[in-house]
Structure formats: C-alpha cells, structure tokens
Amino acid sequence: MDSTVAITGATSGIGRTVAEAFVERGAFVAVCGRDGDRVDRTVAALNRTQNDGTAAGDDEGGPGTAWGARADVRDEFDLERFFEQVAREAGPIDVVLANAAVFHGSPGERPTDEVSYADYDDTMRTNARGVFATVAEAVPHLADGARVLVPSGSVARESTPGMGAYAVSKAAAEGVARGFAADLDATVGVVDPGLVATDLTGKERARTPESVAPLFVWAATDAPATDLDGDRVGLREWKEATR
C-alpha cells in the first residue's frame, strides 16, 4: 500500500490502532498529538513492531513507516507546520483522519447544564474547530482522490444523558465534514464505529479500538466514495461490504 496517511490524536485509542493498521499495510503514517513525548513513544513503538517482524505487512505490501510530530489541533499554526512537514517527508497526503478529541469529566456523568464555559469552549475548540483546522490545513497537501475521515457516533444525533459538550461538539464536527464535502474535490465523510472503549467513553463493555480499526481502513480505501462523501458510514456498511 503506497500511500501517505496523517492522523491527529494518534497516541491512544482509535487513532493509535488505526495508525498501526496502516503501517502494517505498508503506508507512510504521520501521527501527531499534544504531548510530544507520547508522540515519540508512539512512533518508536510502531516502527519497532515493524522492524521486529511481529506485525508483518499484508498482501498490499511490506510494513510501512511511522513518523510523528507534536501538534495541538487547537492551534492552526501547529497543524500548518505538521502538514507541511508530512508533505516534505512523504509527498501528497492520501488519507487524513481528524481523530483528536477531548472529554472534560466522566462520560455519562457530565450533564449539559453543569458544563462550565471554560470546558465547553475547550471541547468545541478541540473537537469541532480542531476538525475544521485539521481539514483546512491539510487541503493544500492533499493528493488527487484523497479521503478525509471524521470519527463520530450516535451522541452527535441522539439525546444521550450526561455527555454534555462532547455530544454538541460531535454534532458540530459532522457539520464541518459535510461543509468540506460540499466544497472540496476530496472525499470527506464521517465514520461511526459505534461505542468503543476509549478514555473518552469510559466504557469497559464496548468494542475495542483494535476491532474497529479495519472499519477506518476500509472507509479510507475501499468504501464507495459516493457513499462516504458528505455522509456517514459505519459498522453495518462495512460488514455488508466485506462479508
């Protein structure tokens, strides 16, 4: 798989496992996060796994390469530098996963009427404006036929108690994706993996990030562009297409 993939919020959870899945398929995978030390450790782990031969490449090609830099999606200048560096390292970008997100408080225990203005502002700046900035700064470096993926979930469109500003931000992020889909040649869409056990959900009885990583790879590579662009794909579409 000769492609360049850029993932924000890639040091844990879904971002981390999707990065590993793409490296295993032979892609050049650029990762970023707020914590530079965690980014360095993630890159080292991804490359060490490949070099040790414990995760061989599939029939798409041999193992790829991980590369990373610190970048905070709340800062468009961080993202501008990140994508410029990715393009210098590996050329035009084929896949962008705007994955970075935050949840202030405990999922399911943060009623909207109890969210502070500071937490609301930071959640929206990271989860909604951060998606906008990620896509906007990636645009000059996108390859022909590029795909941009925005993770979301049912909280973006259903009333779910205790999800506070996070639910609001995910609805906004989906709106950002639809806006870019309408105006860009690139395919931009939402990927809904269902409930996944991550730091943001706090759920133990949920799908693992590893179990949904193939959904994101499929959305980035094989899902029909007409189904994804400006719309949402999820577990049902992936399972129907790959059964």
Are 215 and 191 in contact by the 8 Å Cβ rule? The answer is yes
What was the pLDDT predicted at 203?
A: 55
Torsion of CA 212, 218, 221, 227, to 10 degrees: -120
Q: What is the pTM of this model?
A: 0.91
Residues 219-230: what's their mean pLDDT? 97
Angle at which helices 235-242 and 209-221 pack, to 10 degrees? 70
% of the chain surpassing 90 pLDDT: 84
Strand order in the sheet with 232-234: 65-70, 28-33, 4-7, 93-97, 142-151, 187-192, 232-234
Query: For the segment 138-190, what is each residue's pLDDT rounded down to a tens digit?
Result: 999 999 999 999 999 999 999 889 999 999 999 999 999 999 999 999 999 99
The CATH code of domain 4-242 reads 3.40.50.720
Q: How does pLDDT run across 99-134, given as a tens digit for each residue? A: 999 999 988 899 999 999 999 999 999 999 999 999
Cα gap 82→34, rounded to integer Å: 12
d(CA 75, CA 126): 9
Q: Where are the domains of the chain?
A: 4-242
Of the candidates 147, 134, 4, the residue with the CA atom closest to the CA atom of residue 65: 4
Check if the beta carbon of residue 12 is closer than 8 Å to that of residue 198: yes
pLDDT at position 63, please?
77
> For residue 222, is pLDDT > 80?
yes
User: Which two tokens mark 71?
Assistant: 């970048």
Look at residue 197 in the predicted model and tell me its pLDDT. 78
Q: What is the pLDDT of residues 3-31, one digit of tens each?
A: 999 999 999 999 999 999 999 999 999 99
> What distances in angstroms separate CA 183 from CA 38, 135, 169, 178, 180, one per listed residue?
35, 12, 21, 9, 5
Place of tokens 């060490």: 48
Q: What average pLDDT score do residues 70-80 get? A: 98
